[in-house]
Amino acid sequence: MTLNKVHHIAIISSDYKKSKKFYVEDLGLQPLQEVFRKERNSYKLDLALNGEYIIELFSFPNPPARSTRPEATGLRHLAFEVDDLLKSLDHLTGKGIKAEPIRVDVLTEKQFTFIFDPDDLPIELYQK
């Protein structure tokens, strides 16, 4: 078996409108397709980064909350590379999104920090 690449990441939101705004307007991901699945009372939004499909954003009625952060079992966080970490943080601060203090990766000596989506999923921003 050969794995080629990560096809997509699925995220379930507790407030679909808030999460859609965060991923589309605040982070700048591009919507590819949005469907409402009546039988599940659920939205599914496919999102792209630089034209490449990467995230499925779902709404489901009454999903359980994330148990802890960031060290819950399962997905720990999403990480996005950015060209300029400080400029990216200025952009997000202007949208009311708070970040943790900037840290330095001891292995690469690159700067990184975390922001959080509306459901408290950690999003890492990592300096290129």
| pTM assigned to the model | 0.86
* Angstrom distance (rounded) from CA 57 to CA 23: 9
> Residue for token digits 């589309």?
24
Count other C-beta atoms under 10 Å from residue 64's C-beta: 8
The superfamily (CATH) of domain 76-128 is 2,3-Dihydroxybiphenyl 1,2-Dioxygenase, domain 1 (3.10.180.10)
Residue 70: per-residue pLDDT: 60
Digit-coded pLDDT (tens) for 70-115: 666 677 789 999 999 999 999 999 999 999 999 999 999 999 999 9
Q: Tens of pLDDT along 24-54?
A: 999 999 999 999 999 999 999 999 999 999 9
H or E element at residue 57: strand 52-59
Q: Which fold has domain 1-62?
A: 2,3-Dihydroxybiphenyl 1,2-Dioxygenase; domain 1 (3.10.180)
Integer CA distances (angstroms), 7 to 54, 89, 117, in order: 7, 27, 21
